[in-house]
Amino acid sequence: MKKVFIISLVFISFLSSTSFGGKKYTYYGWGALSCADLLKSRTDSGMLNFLDNFELSSWIQGYVSAMNVSKKKTIDENTDFDGVILEIIKRCEKEPMNEISDELDWIYKNKMK
């Protein structure tokens, strides 16, 4: 009886693990995507949908936190991360072959103080 329960549990876990399987960034994070991927993810209004915006904003906050620790620097906690997303989109429109992480790295070094 115990084996049947364990086998059933393993089988069910395999079924539930395939949701969101088509989105590369769910495995590697937004920084692994190219600017072209970001630009394709925009809605008709030119912005990201709510979930994508939330995920990218969270990824940016983690990136900034890690950079702050590694550089022994503090970025103002009032940083407008929606503004950072708009800046990334603007930079990606100019260079769609770049990676999102490269654009964020440039923004961190040149615009965040």
For 16-67, the pLDDT digits (tens) are 444 444 555 555 678 888 999 999 989 988 889 998 899 899 899 888 888 8
For Cα atoms 62, 67, 63, give the angle at the middle one, nearest 5 degrees.
Answer: 25
**What tokens appear for 62 in the block?**
């983690």
C-alpha–C-alpha distance, residues 104 and 101, integer Å: 5
Domain regions of the chain by residue span? 23-110
Contact 60, 81 (CB under 8 A): yes
Global confidence as pTM: 0.70
80 CB-near residues (< 8 Å, 6+ apart): none
* pLDDT tens string 68-85: 888 888 776 677 888 899
